[in-house]
Homo-oligomer: A and B are copies of this chain.
Amino acid sequence: MNRKHERIAGERGTIGAQTAKRRADGGTTRDSGASRRRGPRLEDAILDAAWDVLVEHGYHGFTYEAVATRVGTSRPVLYRRWPQRDDLLLATLTKFWQPIAVPDTGSLRDDAIGFLHNADADRAGMITLMSVQLADYFRDTGTSLSELRDTLLPPGQATAFETIVARAVERGELPDVPRSSRVVNLPLDLFRHDMFITMRSVSDESIVEIVDEVWLPLLGVPGAPSASSAPAPPA
Q: Taking beta carbons and an 8 Å cutoff, which residues of A are in contact with B?
A: 2, 5, 15, 19, 57-58, 60, 131-136, 138-139, 143-146, 158, 162, 165, 175, 177-184, 186, 189-190, 192-193, 196-200, 209-210, 213-214, 217-220, 226-228, 230-235
Contact = CB atoms under 8 A, between A and B. Distances in A.
B144 A198 contact: yes
Between A213, A217, A220, A230, the greatest number of chain B beta carbons within 10 A of the residue's beta carbon is seen for: A230
Contact of A183 (B132, B186, B227): B227
Given A179-B234, A193-B193, A138 B146 contact: no
State the number of copies, please.
2
A136 B135 contact: yes
A198 B146 contact: yes
Given A218-B217, A228-B175, A136 B235 contact: no
Given A196-B193, A197-B145, A58 B15 contact: no
A232 B178 contact: yes
A138 B144 contact: no
A139 B58 contact: yes
Given A133-B139, A138-B132, A144 B200 contact: yes
Contact of A213 (B177, B182, B198, B230): B182
